[in-house]
Amino acid sequence: MKKSSNTGAPKPDSQLSEKIHKTHSARAAKIKARKDSAIKIQKAWFIYVDKTLFKLLKHAICAAEYCVAHELLKKVSPIEAALAKDPSIKCKVRFRFCGETFPPFIVFKIFLKNNGHGYKYFSGKDMLKPSNKAVADSYKIMGKRTFSQQILEDEHFSQKFKVADRMDVVTVKDYIQYCSLMDEIPASSGGKNNCWRRLNLKSIPKTMMMYDIVEYAESGVISTRLQKEKKYLLQKPQTEEMSQHQLEIVSRVRCPPITTVAPFYQPWEEQGKIKHLGRRSKRAKKKVEKMKQAYMSAKEEKAPSKGAQADILQAKEKKVIFYSPSFEIVAIEEPITDSKLDKEERELFAWYQDLYLKHSSLF
């Protein structure tokens, strides 16, 4: 007889592999979808952070230009700040953003208002000739190091550009090259270039909110003071007063908190008024009382009797002045009372306190 075929035979390997492949592909699709969504959320968050940072930087640059331009210029260059404050020299300080990456950094430049009229540039390099006595005076004022650096810089320019002085100009081409070079060289080197200069954290007072904003842009760490005012500064100003108030918050100079330090010493009168705070258990109080009683009892045992004390006091109080076989002259000294001792101790403590105050650097 033929054997019946087995109906519960296992499925072929191809079907199992197809199922495993489908489950793996489904899991991979889910993981990819989660990654894509996480990347989208991360990008949206970074965009939000960049927008808030740009708004804060915009407040900082507006406050720097319209509120505290002279204070910032005093920290960068006090000489230029004094010239900018002169009413005869009409100048304006401008602040702008600069940089190829985000966040940008703040730069500034000083502009002169000429009202359509040109300015004549005066250069010490052109005005002071070697035969002039002013060269010796400038050497004394500048110092040997700065003077030698200036000479080395001039020599470097002459070797690099070939036409770096009016004495080198021969043709029209040389004159054009010389004029373009003067437009590129900064004023400190005798040129006419009024370049943009970067505003660093060292140039901003730490008491201003502007310092916290620039520090947040450079390091990414936000201060507690900026965190408190951030919500209000990010609001769109509805009125002119609101915008002015925002700029005032950014440029306001806030006094640092004054910390009161307890004195190292205490007066004599206040030392007895010190009260030891804290709670003690009943067991600790009983232990302290027992120790006091034991101490007092031991002290009483060691102390002499009243009669012996009187004899000792009499012996101490008496002082023999003259002695002979028939009689003796005795002087009695008064015992030093406790009030006198307290007075002497107070005077000694007051003297030591005055000595400590006057010569505190020696301790």
Is a pLDDT exceeding 90 seen at residue 325?
Answer: no
Judged by average pLDDT, the poorest of 137-146, 300-309, 331-340 is: 331-340
Residue 119, pLDDT > 60, answer yes
For 196, the 3-state DSSP assignment is coil
How far is it, in rounded angstroms, from Cα 52 to Cα 230?
9
Q: Which tokens hold the place of 220? A: 């990414």
Distance CA 150, CA 146 (A): 6
For residue 260, tell me if it sits in a domain.
Answer: no
Number of domains in the chain: 3
Of 71-75, 138-142, 270-274, 346-350, the one with minimum mean pLDDT is: 270-274
The whole-model pTM stands at 0.54
pLDDT mean over 253-282: 56
| Same-domain pairing of 323 and 348 | yes
Domain assignment present for residue 326? The answer is yes
Kindly state whether residues 181 and 201 are assigned to the same domain. Answer: no
Question: To which residue do tokens 């949206």 refer?
Answer: 44
Query: Does the pLDDT value for residue 333 go beyond 60?
Result: no
- 166 with 202, same domain: the answer is no
Strand, coil or helix: 96: strand
Lowest mean pLDDT among 72-81, 122-131, 181-190: 122-131
Sequence-ordered alpha helix ranges (H) in 240-281: 240-251, 268-271
Per the CB < 8 A criterion, the answer to whether 193 and 187 are in contact is yes
Domain boundary among 153, 174, 191: 191
Q: Are 199 and 107 in contact (CB under 8 A)?
A: yes
Structure tokens at 266: 């205490």
Closest CA to 250 of 207, 209, 222, 217: 209
Which is it for the CA torsion 283, 286, 290, 292, positive or negative? positive
Do 63 and 138 lie in a common domain? no
Answer yes or no: do 90 and 165 share one domain. no
Domain presence at residue 180: yes
Domain range for 335: 307-357
Give yes or no for residue 272 having a pLDDT over 70: no
Task: Give strand pairing partners of 332.
Answer: 318
Exposure class string for 64-91: b at 16+ Cβ within 10 A, else e? bbebbbebbbbebeeeebeebeeeeeee
Q: Please tell me the distance from the alpha carbon of residue 295 to that of residue 285, in angstroms, as a whole number.
A: 15
Q: Where are the alpha helices (DSSP H) in 131-253?
A: 134-142, 144-161, 172-184, 209-219, 224-233, 240-251
* Structure-token pair, residue 261: 């330090």
Say how far apart CA 355 and CA 363 lie, in whole Å.
11
